[in-house]
């Protein structure tokens, strides 16, 4: 994703005044995983006996960031865990999108990253989940090993958790069926779509899923985050950057989503904004609820 540049994205006006003040409000997300482990094998009995009952693996109450190199849970495993702890819908506008699943993106999705991104990450993208908006976001957090509250906060910054959000209006780079003027702005089309504002010109094989499915939108966004987090985006050291790119920097990869650059000033401002919403847990506030 070498050309993924988001420098022209506008920060939401309602929060722009608080951007610079937010930079030091929250420390980095803990990297330690809180994943359940299976039961230990029982000792051999001295006499025949009935087998011990198998203990069910409890669904995690919270998904934390999993360090680079950790084996990630499957999408179906995450679906089971998320559905075991239901969460109510708080964005009614998303219902049709929350009940639509996605599709594969093919083997060439990560055009600028190290080859391992297409080998190990791209095949996992499928948007194969349905549920409430919060459940979709938790599923993506579980599947890609990122702290769920970071996901909640970033989705609030990007769209206020609304899959209908459109952004980055340009005169070119339009998705099929959405040429200039089709979506309501004369001579322009939205390049960014959905709950995480995935950018169509750089994610073409994820279309139309990133528009039609909340799960596909979040799945694709955090697959890109994971590719960055595990160190596959070494191109970030070949363009303007504020420090050397390396694996394991969860917040650096959040900033890269907005700026397409590594710890530059726009990236740092975006990180500060996400951290502000994380500190406030904005998704729990009364004015965020739109069921």
pLDDT at 27 over 70: no
pLDDT at 254 over 90: yes
Q: Residue 106: what pLDDT?
A: 95
pLDDT at 206 over 50: yes
Residues sharing a CB contact under 8 Å with residue 118, sequence separation 6 or more, in sequence order: 107, 108, 109, 110
The model's pLDDT over 134-190, given as tens digits with 9 standing for 90+, comes to 999 999 999 999 999 999 999 999 999 999 999 999 999 999 999 999 999 999 999
pLDDT at 3 over 90: no
Eight-state DSSP code of residue 68: T
User: What gap in Å lies between CA 272 and CA 285, rounded to an integer?
Assistant: 19
**What percent of the chain has a predicted confidence (pLDDT) above 70?**
80
Distances (CA, A) of 141 to 22, 65, 77, 223: 23, 8, 12, 10
Average pLDDT over residues 205-217: 98
Band of pLDDT at residue 256, cut at 50, 70 and 90: very high
Write down the residue that tokens 């702005």 correspond to. 185
Average pLDDT over residues 77-93: 98
Average pLDDT over residues 75-92: 98
- Mean pLDDT estimate for the chain: 85
Q: Residue 57: what pLDDT?
A: 65
Average pLDDT over residues 229-245: 98
Residues sharing a CB contact under 8 Å with residue 48, sequence separation 6 or more, in sequence order: none
Write down the residue that tokens 């998704």 correspond to. 283
Band of pLDDT at residue 33, cut at 50, 70 and 90: very low
Question: What order do you get walking across the sheet with 166-170 strand by strand?
Answer: 166-170, 189-193, 198-199
CB 206 within 8 A of CB 105: yes
CB 257 within 8 A of CB 5: no
User: What gap in Å lies between CA 167 and CA 100, rounded to an integer?
Assistant: 21
Q: Residue 54: what pLDDT?
A: 32
- Is this prediction's pTM over 0.75? yes
Band of pLDDT at residue 45, cut at 50, 70 and 90: very low
pLDDT at 34 over 50: no
User: Quick one: angle between helices 133-144 and 148-159, nearest 10?
Assistant: 130
Inter-residue long-range contacts of 285-289, CB under 8 Å, 24+ positions, other chains counted: 288/90, 288/156, 288/160, 288/161, 289/90
Cis peptide upstream of residue 202 (ω within 30 degrees of 0): no
Band of pLDDT at residue 72, cut at 50, 70 and 90: very high
Q: What burial class does residue 55 get, using C-beta atoms within 10 Å of its C-beta: 0-12 exposed, 13-18 middle, 19+ buried?
A: exposed
User: What gap in Å lies between CA 153 and CA 280, rounded to an integer?
Assistant: 9
pLDDT at 46 over 50: no
Band of pLDDT at residue 37, cut at 50, 70 and 90: very low
User: What gap in Å lies between CA 23 and CA 268, rounded to an integer?
Assistant: 8
Average pLDDT over residues 186-195: 98
Q: What burial class does residue 30 get, using C-beta atoms within 10 Å of its C-beta: 0-12 exposed, 13-18 middle, 19+ buried?
A: exposed
Q: Residue 181: what pLDDT?
A: 97
Q: Residue 58: what pLDDT?
A: 87
- Cβ neighbours of 115 (radius 10 Å): 9
Band of pLDDT at residue 84, cut at 50, 70 and 90: very high
pLDDT at 280 over 60: yes
Average pLDDT over residues 91-107: 97
């Amino acid at each position: 994703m070498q050309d993924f540049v988001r420098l022209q994205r506008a920060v939401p006006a309602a929060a722009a005044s608080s951007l610079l003040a937010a930079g030091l409000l929250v420390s980095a997300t803990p990297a330690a995983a809180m994943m359940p482990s299976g039961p230990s094998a029982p000792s051999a009995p001295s006499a025949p006996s009935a087998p011990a009952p198998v203990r069910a693996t409890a669904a995690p109450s919270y998904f934390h960031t999993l360090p680079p190199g950790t084996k990630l849970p499957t999408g179906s495993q995450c679906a089971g865990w998320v559905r075991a702890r239901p969460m109510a819908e708080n964005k009614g506008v998303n219902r049709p999108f929350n009940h639509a699943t996605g599709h594969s993106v093919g083997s060439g999705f990560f055009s600028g990253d190290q080859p391992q991104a297409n080998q190990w990450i791209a095949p996992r993208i499928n948007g194969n989940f349905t549920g409430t908006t919060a459940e979709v976001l938790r599923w993506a957090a579980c599947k890609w090993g990122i702290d769920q509250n970071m996901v909640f906060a970033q989705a609030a910054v990007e769209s206020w958790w609304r899959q209908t959000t459109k952004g980055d209006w340009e005169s070119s780079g339009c998705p099929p069926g959405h040429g200039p003027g089709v979506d309501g702005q004369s001579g322009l089309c939205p390049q960014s779509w959905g709950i995480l504002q995935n950018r169509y010109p750089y994610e073409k094989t994820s279309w139309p899923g990133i528009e039609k499915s909340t799960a596909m939108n979040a799945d694709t966004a955090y697959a890109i985050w994971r590719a960055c987090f595990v160190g596959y985006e070494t191109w970030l050291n070949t363009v303007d950057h504020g420090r050397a790119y390396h694996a394991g920097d969860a917040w650096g990869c959040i900033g890269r989503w907005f700026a397409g650059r590594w710890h530059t000033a726009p990236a740092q401002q975006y990180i500060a904004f996400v951290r502000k919403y994380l500190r406030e847990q904005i998704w729990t506030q009364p004015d965020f609820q739109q069921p």
